[in-house]
């Protein structure tokens, strides 16, 4: 007499439905809503619908989640400065390229950039991230100064002031922009560039 054995479906180790990136996305959303310091691993576990031990399957600590999130934002922004459009050509064209790239990163990495902009510098990791952000801003100020020197931009406003005004406008986007809405990232960049450069070009 022959017998048949039904094969049982194999169960994947770890928590189904989550990988490190999906855990990170939820964590960043919670950090932005409650604040990083006020968010415990228990709160994260509740929002994820998993146990705290299941979170540790993906990341070793809450601090590691912050590190990964900040790298998503800062690494993407810093990468804009390495592209050919940012490193060659006329200073004003390079400046426009970097601003467009920055807006594209903001739209693509909105939750991560939002978290970066809300840092208070209370930990070594946060202070390091803020230092990298200041370096990024300084590079933009150097581009502004170079564009002023070659006659492309008006010279009656200090480069650092122009940079602060530009990024004040760009950074405010995180408070109202909705990815997937009627305004595309490209249109948003066009509008910011038009508004900014019409007031800066001679």
179 or 72, higher pLDDT: 72
pLDDT of residue 200: 61
pLDDT of residue 201: 56
Determine the length of the chain. Answer: 202
Report the chain's mean pLDDT, rounded to a whole number: 89
Q: Spell out the domain ranges in the chain.
A: 15-60, 66-198
Residue bearing tokens 């510098």: 121
21 or 11, higher pLDDT: 21
Q: Find, among 122, 111, 125, the residue nearest to 76 by Cα.
A: 111
Banded pLDDT at 199 (limits 50, 70, 90): low
Percent of the chain as helix, strand, coil, to the nearest 5 = 65, 0, 35
pLDDT tens by residue, 135-181: 999 999 999 999 999 999 999 999 999 999 999 999 999 999 998 88
Instruction: Compute the distance between CA of residue 63 and CA of residue 36 in angstroms, rounded to an integer.
Output: 9
Banded pLDDT at 3 (limits 50, 70, 90): very low
CATH of domain 66-198: 1.10.357.10
Residue bearing tokens 């909105």: 110
pLDDT of residue 180: 87
Does the pLDDT at position 4 exceed 70?
Answer: no
Cα separation of the two ends of the chain: 94
Task: Count the neighbouring beta carbons within 10 Å of the beta carbon of residue 177.
Answer: 15
CATH superfamily entry for domain 15-60 = Homeodomain-like (1.10.10.60)
201 or 147, higher pLDDT: 147
Q: How far is CA 40 from CA 46, 59, 69, 92, in A?
A: 10, 14, 16, 45
pLDDT tens by residue, 17-57: 688 898 999 999 999 999 999 999 999 999 999 988 889 88
Going by the DSSP 8-state scheme, the letter that residue 180 receives in this structure is T
């Amino acid at each position: 007499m022959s017998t048949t054995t039904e094969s049982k479906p194999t169960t994947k180790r770890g928590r189904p439905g989550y990988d490190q990136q999906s855990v990170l996305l939820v964590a960043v959303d919670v950090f932005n809503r409650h604040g990083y310091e006020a968010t415990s691993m228990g709160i994260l576990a509740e929002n994820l619908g998993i146990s705290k031990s299941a979170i540790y399957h993906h990341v070793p600590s809450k601090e590691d989640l912050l590190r990964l999130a900040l790298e998503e934002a800062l690494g993407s922004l810093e990468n804009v400065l390495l592209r050919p459009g940012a490193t060659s050509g006329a200073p004003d064209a390079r400046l426009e390229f970097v601003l467009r790239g920055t807006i594209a990163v903001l739209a693509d990495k909105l939750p991560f950039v939002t978290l970066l902009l809300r840092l208070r510098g209370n930990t070594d990791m946060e202070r390091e991230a803020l230092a990298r952000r200041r370096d990024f801003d300084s590079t933009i100020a150097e581009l502004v100064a170079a564009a002023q020197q070659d006659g492309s931009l008006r010279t009656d406003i200090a480069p650092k002031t122009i940079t602060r005004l530009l990024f004040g406008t760009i950074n405010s986007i995180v408070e109202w922009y909705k990815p997937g809405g009627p305004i595309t990232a490209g249109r948003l960049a066009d509008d910011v560039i038009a508004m900014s450069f019409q007031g800066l070009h001679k």
